[in-house]
Each structure stands twice: as structure tokens, then as C-alpha cells.
Amino acid sequence: MHFTRFPFLCVDAYAGVYAANYMAVNAFSFSLTSFLIGRYNMKANTATNVNNVFSGTFNFSPVVGAFVADALWGRFRTLLFGTAVGVTVSCDQSHYSSISSCSVVLRH
């Protein structure tokens, strides 16, 4: 097996993941604005401002994580903390959605 193509495959894979992430974030951003306008009756300017704050925070969070990993905790503790928070939030959301779907079924 020849490894002369391997660096190009890595670049292609990185570009593909970056492109998919960019599309997903933009799709979520547009949906968030529509959701805020439709569900919470926000004005378009307010919904756009909320979306911009969310996008800015979302895009700046890797910088904060890198600082914490380099200066304070180290990479493994930072990864452990991030994984624990992610799993906790995911479980909490799934638990909340199952409770709210049960309550909707019970109300009807």
C-alpha cells in the first residue's frame, strides 16, 4: 500500500468535515431565527441579535477550551470535563423530552 496519497486524504477529510460542520451550523442558525420569531413572537431584529450572540459564543468556545486546557487543567481533565458535561446535558435533554412527551399524551 502506498502512503503517498495519505496527506491529501487527510486534507480532503478535514475539508469535508469542516464543510459539513459549516453547513450544519448555518442550517441551525437559520432555523433558530425562524423558531424565535414564530414560537416566541420575537421581532426579527431581536431574534437576529439572539442568534448572533449564540453564534458568537458557539464559535468562541473552542478558544476558551484551549485556554483552559493549556493554562489550567491540561488536555485530559478538560476532555473529561467536557465529556461529562456533554453526557449530562444529553441525558437531561432526553429525560426532559420523554417526560414532556408523556405529559402531552396524558393530557389528551
Q: What does 18-30 look like in DSSP terms, one character per residue?
A: HHHHHHHHHHHHH
**Same domain, residue pair 19 and 51:** yes
* Separation CA 30–CA 35 (nearest Å): 9
Structural domains counted in the chain: 2
Global pTM?
0.58
Domain identity same for 55 and 83: no
pLDDT in tens, 95-106: 666 655 554 444
* Dist CA 13 CA 52 (whole Å): 29
pLDDT at residue 97, as a whole number: 61
Domain membership flag for residue 49? yes
All three cell numbers of 23? 453547513
Residues 5 and 56 grouped into a single domain: yes
Task: Supply the pLDDT for residue 16.
Answer: 76
47 and 81 together in one domain: no
Q: Are residues 57 and 80 in the same domain?
A: no
- String of DSSP letters for 34-76: HHHHHHS---HHHHHHHHHHHHHHHHHHHHHHHHIIIIII-HH
| Same domain? 48 vs 88 | no
Is 68 contained in some domain? no
Say which residues have a Cβ less than 8 Å from residue 51's Cβ, sequence separation at least 6.
Answer: 29, 32, 33, 36
Could you tell me if residue 66 is inside a domain? no
Q: In this structure, are 81 and 55 located in the same domain?
A: no
What is the pLDDT, as a whole number, of residue 38?
92
**Domain identity same for 4 and 45:** yes
**pLDDT tens per residue, range 14-58:** 777 778 878 888 888 888 889 999 999 999 999 999 999 988 888
Question: How does residue 89 score in pLDDT terms, banded at 50, 70 and 90?
Answer: confident
Domain that holds residue 87: 74-108
